[in-house]
Amino acid sequence: MSKLNITNIKKAYNYMKKNGLKAMLTQAAERLESHDYDDYTFEPVSEEELEKQRKNAGSYSVRFSILVPAYNTPKEYFKEMIESVEAQTYPNWELIIGDAGDEAKGLKEIAEEFYDRRVRYIKLPENKGISGNTNAILKEARGEYIALLDHDDFLTPDALYENAKLISEATKKPGLIYSDEDKCNGDATKFYDVYRKPNFNLDLLLSNNYICHFLVIKSEDLKSIGFRSEFDGAQDYDVTLRCVMRYMPDFKEVYHIPKVLYHWRCHEESTASNPQSKLYAYEAGKNALTDALEALGWKAEVTHSKHLGFMDVKYIPGIFDVREDIGMIGGRIINDKGVIIGGIMDENGTPVFGGLKDGYSGYRNTATLKQDADLLDIRCMKLRPELYDVFKDVTGMEYKEDPKTGFYDIKLQKDDTDLMKICTIICHRIKKMGYKLLYDPDCSVKVKE
């Protein structure tokens, strides 16, 4: 979709009101330069592959309960949602629709048109909000896993098959599964804004609900915690946070399927089309995150970031005091041209945000978000005191911080030192000891090239 459209103009205006003209112009410049979504075309799975899935579906036995709380859903969207479930190559499912809207909308009649016993339509006696309505149909679920589907969105035909395959073949039984997603316009003729998600990253989740759709959770786990009405608007984030906390400390029950399995429909009423339409949801998200941190005993202050739906967590009195799992903090390395040249790196030592201009936010604003890292650059590094000996063992030098920056004093290293080698060895040693590496975008060091 064109970057210069009414929706983006509205977003830019609202961003300016919140963050100022300079910040808006910076964001607009980045958006115009970005090629993240320009070339995206949704490529459906071939009919040949779908037929293979249908033939192989009998190899798996897991049953899914797909929950859809509905409220005055436009008929055409409601029908397409059901059709997308009916089209699944994996047949062991039940679709439970809880309708809390006006009977005159005719959703019952549409559901009954399908003549499928797996489609269960329930007229709820009252509207208890999204959480209350979902809890009402959650009680009716008979599947081993619960899948959450919005009433106006739809699935790809391989969505349940991919989940069934993963569940059946996983080394450890999954507790929570998520996948990639994209957006589409109202009549589903254009697909765009694909979200290629990373594998599970706790601190990224503590910055925003990047997991979102398509969310599949082990039934016994979801039923034990349920949905909480006080977090309506961010009830999925609240549930996700409370579920993943059950899988600490290694989170091996959390799985990611790197395929687009969910289409998030954008129309006049949807949050996907206009994030400003549900500002209350962002406050609910902040409250859900605050509650999750309190439940863990992590004292922190949660604030909204400059981007809607994103948050910043500041630990009190300091992160090493609160988070025993964090061994190293690292930030951004910026050259004299205002370009990021180092900081958070992938396992191969490639800077994740290399080449990004200082002030830009990066793909899905991730350059502005705290997140777990594979490797960190020692030019902007702060070590947990208990790990000073690791640094000395690797480098043969005492760990000392620059009083001006609060980070390791890189000037102590000789000019011919192989910094990349040191980074890699130290980071691997720390992770092997069970600690995490945390990227903090608020930390930065400027260097001359």
Task: Looking at the structure, tell me whether residues 103 and 208 fall in a common domain.
Answer: yes
Cβ-contact 137, 98 below 8 angstroms: yes
Per the structure, the count of domains in the chain is 3
Task: Looking at the structure, tell me whether residues 61 and 189 fall in a common domain.
Answer: yes
Element (H, E) at 85: helix 75-86
- What is the identity of the amino acid at 126? E
Tokens of 66: 């797909």
281 found inside a domain: no
Q: pTM for the full model?
A: 0.91
**pLDDT tens figures, 150-169:** 999 999 999 999 999 999 99
| % of the chain surpassing 70 pLDDT | 89
- What's the CA gap between 141 and 211, in Å, rounded? 23
CA 369 from centroid of its chain's CA atoms? 12
Residue 17 lies in domain: 1-28
CA 276 from centroid of its chain's CA atoms? 19
pLDDT at 444 over 80: yes
Task: Looking at the structure, tell me whether residues 194 and 54 fall in a common domain.
Answer: yes
pLDDT at 11 over 80: no
CATH number for position 247: 3.90.550.10
- Mean of the pLDDT values across residues 323-341? 96
284 found inside a domain: no
pLDDT at 55 over 80: yes
Task: Looking at the structure, tell me whether residues 3 and 133 fall in a common domain.
Answer: no
Please give the pLDDT value at position 274. 55
- What's the CA gap between 227 and 433, in Å, rounded? 36
Task: Looking at the structure, tell me whether residues 370 and 427 fall in a common domain.
Answer: yes
150 burial (CB, 10 Å; 0-12 / 13-18 / 19+) is: buried
Please give the pLDDT value at position 111. 96
Task: Looking at the structure, tell me whether residues 214 and 82 fall in a common domain.
Answer: yes
* Strand 191-195 to 311-315 pairing: unpaired
41 found inside a domain: no
Please give the pLDDT value at position 34. 67
Band of residue 426 on the pLDDT scale cut at 50, 70, 90: very high
pLDDT at 340 over 90: yes
pLDDT at 27 over 70: no
Task: Looking at the structure, tell me whether residues 123 and 245 fall in a common domain.
Answer: yes
Task: Looking at the structure, tell me whether residues 253 and 378 fall in a common domain.
Answer: no
Q: Residue holding tokens 């004093």?
A: 409
Q: Which residue has the higher pLDDT, 428 or 278?
A: 428
Please give the pLDDT value at position 427. 98
Tokens of 278: 């549900």
